Amino acid sequence: MNIEFNSENKKKFEEILTRYPTKRAAILPTLWLAQNQFGYMSPEVMEYVGVLLDLPPVKVYEVVTFYTMFNQKPVGKYHFQVCRTLSCELCGKQEIVDHLKKKLGIKVGETTPDGRFTLSEVECLGSCGTAPMMQVSNEEFHENL
C-alpha cells in the first residue's frame, strides 16, 4: 500500500501547518487527517506522518498510543466507543458494555466477523454531566444512556 495523502488531504495538511508555530505542534490534526484517509494508524502511516512532520516514528507512536481516538488496527464501519471514566462508570457504563457485547457477540477490543462493528472502551469523551455516554465512529455522540 502506497502511503501518501491524496491531493485533497495534501492541501488540508499544508493549511494545518499554517496554524502552528512548528511542524511538531501540528501532530494531532495531522494524525486525525491520516486516520480519516487510511482508516487506522498502521506503522507505515505513523512513519509517513513522522516524515511529514520531521519527527522520528517513535514520537508519532507515543502520541498514537496515548490517545484512544487513534486506532492502531482496522475498526468496523460502526465503531462503538463507550466512555470508561469515573462519571460513566458510576452511571452504568458496564451495563451498556455488557449489552453491546451480548448483542454483537464480541468482546471489548474486537470487531465482528463481518467487519461491521467494533466495540471499544475509551477515555473521557467530555460529557460527564450526561453520563453514561458513547460515540459511534468518531462522529455521533449518544448521552444519557
In tens, the pLDDT along 98-109 reads 999 999 999 999
Determine which helix (DSSP H) or strand (DSSP E) holds 144, and give its type and residue range.
none
Residue 60 burial by Cβ neighbours in a 10 Å radius (0-12, 13-18, 19+) = buried
Q: At residue 106, what is the residue type?
A: I
Has residue 1 got a pLDDT over 70? Answer: no
Write down the pLDDT at residue 139.
Answer: 79
Grid coordinates of 132: 453514561
* Percentage with pLDDT > 90 across the chain: 90
Q: Does residue 56 have a cis peptide bond before it, meaning omega lies within 30 degrees of 0?
A: no
Q: Does residue 132 have a cis peptide bond before it, meaning omega lies within 30 degrees of 0?
A: yes
Q: At residue 8, what is the residue type?
A: E
DSSP for 75-143 reads: --SEEEEEE-SHHHHHTTHHHHHHHHHHHHT--TT-B-TTSSEEEEEES--S-GGG-S-EEETTTEEE-
Residue 30: name the closest of 53, 8, 47, 7 by CA. 53
Residue in this structure with the C-alpha cell 501540528, named with its chain if needed? 26
40 pLDDT tier (thresholds 50, 70, 90): very high
Write down the pLDDT at residue 82.
Answer: 96
The pTM is what? Answer: 0.79
Give the pairing of strands 140-142 and 134-136: antiparallel
